[in-house]
Amino acid sequence: MIERFLEGNKTFVEGEFTEHNDYYQELATGQSPTVLWIGCSDSRVAPERITGARAGEIFVHRNIGNIVRIGDWNFATILEYAVKHLKVHDIVVCGHSDCGAMKALTAEGESDEAYIPLWLSNAASAMEAVEAETPRPEDAEGMKKWRRLVEEENVRLQLENLRTYPIVREAEREEKVTLHGLYFDLETGVLEKIA
């Protein structure tokens, strides 16, 4: 597999990189993205690919379930760098359909895993909010639709969590950044704003 990626890189260098060499040489001296994108690690949801963005346009942080953990020093560092140094104008939290994290969160029964359930506890209130409004369905098709509600509610929850960070609250108050909740549907390829 790695050999295939190395061959793909040769194609990139001979094509895109050579054709737009001035652009890539400029990127070699620094970056100035306008967006911080907080997305899921899912291999099917590559931000640049689904948005048509060029290299250097999006500063990306990805993790399981596109979660913004409150009080996370790693994440706080990303926020500080994006807002204070890169001066991004927009912060996106992007969820998606068929999210394995949300499937794990909504699965009934005990898990024998150590880390995933602990991490997903940061999204549990999204599931609880949906359960309070819409009972968990019994059938597979109903469950798929219900899980989408959880996926979308998780995006809204993570936007709330973003606002617990002083740097985001201050930048939003000063109208330096705007927060957006997006959702990508794997079946249709459509990216839409949901919050």
Q: Which residues are annotated as a binding site for Zn(2+)?
A: 40, 96, 99
Q: Look at residue 28 and give its three-state secondary structure.
A: coil
Q: Look at residue 149 and give its three-state secondary structure.
A: helix
Complete edge-to-edge strand list for the sheet that includes strand 35-40:
58-63, 35-40, 90-96, 178-184, 191-193
Pair 155, 92: CB distance under 8 Å: no
**Euclidean distance between CA atoms 177 and 185, whole angstroms:** 26
Give the CA count within 13 Å in the CB-facing half-sphere of 174. Answer: 11
**Euclidean distance between CA atoms 87 and 28, whole angstroms:** 19
Q: Which residues contact 193 (CB under 8 A, 6 or more apart)?
A: 180, 181, 182
**Euclidean distance between CA atoms 162 and 157, whole angstroms:** 9
**Euclidean distance between CA atoms 14 and 95, whole angstroms:** 34
What residues form the annotated binding site? 40, 96, 99
